[in-house]
């Protein structure tokens, strides 16, 4: 309070000093002007009243010059006085500014001390706030370690035990606070991506199990919720980090899953989600063109629309590169060959129906099918699903039905490779 009163008095004094300088300067200018006017008026009168002789006029001029010299001296003293007053005012203003700035510094220190005091009191009252930032970082690191990395998804769930799953679910809820704290660390979009993949893998497994348990196709609400949860996290991962092309690839798959849900659950039309998936994969390729995964996903999307030739070309382009996303993936490379065999079987069937040469598609489909099934080293569940997919594709109306009719022994050989 004493500092505040001192600052107010200094400000009032500085304001008064300014007006004193201004008024003094105006008064001095007025007095000097009056003296000049009198000197000039006297000189004019002297000239008019003096006799017209050279000697008289010379004396009048000398008096006039003396008067002007006196006024110049007065003006010089006036300027010196004004400079002195200005310097004095600047000094007062500087002192006043210093004390005002010091006042703000003192108030800032008091505020900082008060914040620190409140923090200490909060930590005493609620121990959870002690090293709060470190607790958040440790929780993020632990959760990220439990979740799937960016190269795996299909086999993740089979390697996850029940205890780790429950740990993930527990940490997921405790880490939700980072959204409300507006946490800026790059760990957050990574966390969202991994949580999205976690629920995406859960959805894929539960959907497959439910299809086996419920041949009628009836879907349970909880299974659909996994797809929605995966979309929820992956959308945030892409929003937080628009340059993360691996998250975009995952998000595209989440859009495909959403397109297959009833409108009451997906809250959008299937066409909208399909468009988002395709645009997301295109953006992923613009960021990292030398990857296989986005092209593999695009080929699947083209095949769903019946554009078999374009899907085949997309996978052939994918084989020009040796990285799935950031590194090679032998399992996914086999998936590319397997899908190529499916597309070539469909194209061969089209060629034969059109009365055109189909032998090249038969040979290519045979070669790619063996490449897609040979040495398929994967987890038992994934290998079992691949074997089931092969059986379905070779059935009537399946993608490999034409190849299975042409070369049944080769299909049997491929099935034995997956056992």
What does the block give as tokens for 285?
């390729």
Task: Say how far apart CA 167 and CA 146 lie, in whole Å.
Answer: 8
What does the block give as tokens for 279?
């645009």
**Residue 300 counted as domain residue:** no
Q: pLDDT tens for residues 51-109?
A: 555 666 666 666 666 666 666 666 676 667 667 666 766 666 666 677 677 767 777 77
For residues 130 and 283, the model is more confident at 283
pTM, two decimal places: 0.66
pLDDT of 326 above 70: yes
Task: Say how far apart CA 284 and CA 294 lie, in whole Å.
Answer: 7
- Domain end point (choices 108, 127, 146): 127
For residues 113 and 272, the model is more confident at 272
Domain count, the chain: 3
Q: Are residues 147 and 269 in the same domain?
A: yes
Q: pLDDT tens for residues 169-182?
A: 887 877 766 665 55
Q: pLDDT tens for residues 168-225?
A: 888 787 776 666 555 556 678 888 888 888 888 888 888 877 666 655 545 556 788 8
Q: Are residues 123 and 142 in the same domain?
A: no
What does the block give as tokens for 127?
């121990």
**Residue 145 counted as domain residue:** yes
Inter-residue contact 287 to 249 (CB < 8 Å): no
- Domain end point (choices 77, 94, 127): 127
Q: pLDDT tens for residues 338-367?
A: 999 999 999 999 999 999 999 999 999 999
Band of pLDDT at residue 129, cut at 50, 70 and 90:
very low
Q: pLDDT tens for residues 364-410?
A: 999 999 999 988 777 777 778 888 899 999 999 999 999 999 999 99
Taking Cα atoms as reference points, which of 35, 66, 60 lies closest to residue 48? 60
**Residue 304 counted as domain residue:** no
Range of the domain at 385: 309-419
Task: Say how far apart CA 2 and CA 118 lie, in whole Å.
Answer: 25
CB atoms within 10 A of CB 65: 11
Residues 103, 107, 109, 111, Cα dihedral to 10°: -170
For residues 234 and 71, the model is more confident at 234
Pinpoint the alpha helices (H) of 175-307.
177-180, 187-213, 221-240, 245-259, 263-266, 270-287, 293-304
Q: Would you state the pLDDT for residue 239?
A: 93
pLDDT, averaged across the chain = 78
CA angle 131, 134, 135 (to 5 degrees): 85
Q: Are residues 122 and 161 in the same domain?
A: no
Q: Would you state the pLDDT for residue 344?
A: 97
């Amino acid at each position: 309070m004493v500092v505040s009163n001192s600052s107010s008095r200094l400000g009032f004094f500085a304001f008064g000093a300014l007006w004193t300088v201004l008024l003094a300067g105006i008064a001095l200018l007025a007095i000097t002007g009056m003296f000049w006017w009198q000197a000039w008026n006297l000189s004019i009168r002297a000239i008019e009243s003096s006799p017209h002789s050279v000697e008289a006029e010379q004396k009048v001029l000398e008096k006039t010059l003396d008067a002007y010299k006196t006024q110049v001296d007065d003006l010089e003293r006036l300027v010196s006085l004004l400079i002195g007053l200005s310097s004095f005012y600047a000094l007062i203003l500087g002192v006043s500014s210093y004390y005002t700035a010091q006042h703000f510094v003192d108030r800032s220190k008091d505020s900082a001390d008060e914040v620190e005091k409140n923090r200490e009191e909060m930590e005493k009252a609620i121990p959870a706030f002690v090293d709060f930032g470190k607790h958040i970082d440790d929780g993020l690191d632990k959760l990220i370690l439990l979740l799937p990395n960016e190269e795996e998804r299909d086999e993740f769930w089979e390697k996850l035990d029940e205890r780790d799953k429950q740990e993930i679910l527990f940490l997921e809820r405790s880490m939700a606070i980072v959204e409300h704290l507006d946490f800026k660390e790059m760990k957050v979009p990574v966390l969202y991506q991994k949580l999205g993949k976690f629920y995406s893998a859960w959805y894929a497994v539960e959907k497959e199990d439910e299809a086996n348990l419920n041949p009628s196709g009836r879907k349970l609400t909880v299974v659909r919720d996994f797809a929605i949860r995966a979309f929820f996290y992956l959308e945030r991962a892409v929003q937080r980090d628009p340059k993360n092309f691996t998250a975009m690839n995952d998000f595209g798959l989440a859009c495909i899953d959403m397109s297959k849900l009833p409108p009451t659950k997906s809250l959008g039309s299937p066409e909208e989600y399909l468009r988002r998936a395709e645009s997301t994969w295109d953006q992923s390729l613009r960021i990292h063109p030398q990857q296989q995964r986005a092209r593999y996903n695009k080929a699947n999307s083209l095949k769903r629309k019946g554009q078999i030739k374009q899907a085949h070309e997309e996978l052939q382009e994918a084989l020009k590169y040796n990285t799935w996303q950031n590194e090679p993936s032998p399992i996914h490379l086999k998936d590319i060959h397997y899908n190529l065999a499916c597309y070539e079987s469909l194209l061969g069937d089209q060629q034969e129906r059109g009365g055109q040469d189909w032998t090249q598609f038969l040979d290519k489909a045979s070669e790619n099918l063996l490449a897609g099934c040979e040495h398929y080293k994967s987890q038992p569940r994934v290998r079992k699903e691949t074997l089931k997919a092969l059986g379905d594709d070779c059935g009537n109306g399946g993608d490999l039905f034409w190849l299975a009719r042409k070369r049944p022994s080769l299909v049997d050989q491929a099935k034995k490779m997956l056992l």
